[in-house]
Structure 1
Amino acid sequence: METHFEHFGQTDLGQRLIALIDTPDRYTEFRALSEKGLPAVTALVPVLSPVLMPLEQTDLKRLNAAKQFVGRYVGTIMRKYGHTIVRPSASVPGKLFDVAAVWSGAPSSDAEEDTQAD
């Protein structure tokens, strides 16, 4: 059974967002912001605002779905590298996102041990 998250990721907008989020240096930005106690999605505000903000005038439902997708996708990346949520809701600078999770600044030692065991 496909989730709403997976379905959105297969749409044209979802694929475009993935292409903008899943770049080689993006995790480095997410981690740096997390180390400063900021939501990782803050790194995406300048990149995604031109893509998503026009939806504010035309399709709020799609805009909200896209923002939720972005949050979940960033969470997937952070978990992949062993980070955990340290604060579930914090204000995000900029006008694109209202709130988002703050991740641990470093991977948990459990995740590092799991990675080394592979």
Structure 2
Amino acid sequence: MDTTREAFADWLQKYGRAWEARDAKAAAELYAEDGTYQVTPFVEPMRGRVAILEYWTNVAQTEEDIHFEYEILAVTPEQGIARWWASFVRVPPGLQPSWMESSSSLSMAKESAHS
């Protein structure tokens, strides 16, 4: 699928809603079965939807009162780039950080048809 600004914005909105709702399954379903997810540039990316689901299941247990926003910086037919930020309360209190800002690049793969 060619990435359009509308498709990328839709993906980011779904990502934000899943995070705010602490819905690990919805977050993981945004990725292809063989997709990757990298939390920071300093760790190896998670590979596959199962690993992404496990990560988001753990995250959902450590954050509440989550607010997510984004700004689309660029979109090409191959990818979208966005700056995003999120604030949340850590559970249990005292874990860091309670506010994050990052930029992300998303490659949108062609969806296969299933019958």
TM over 0.5: no
Higher strand share: 2
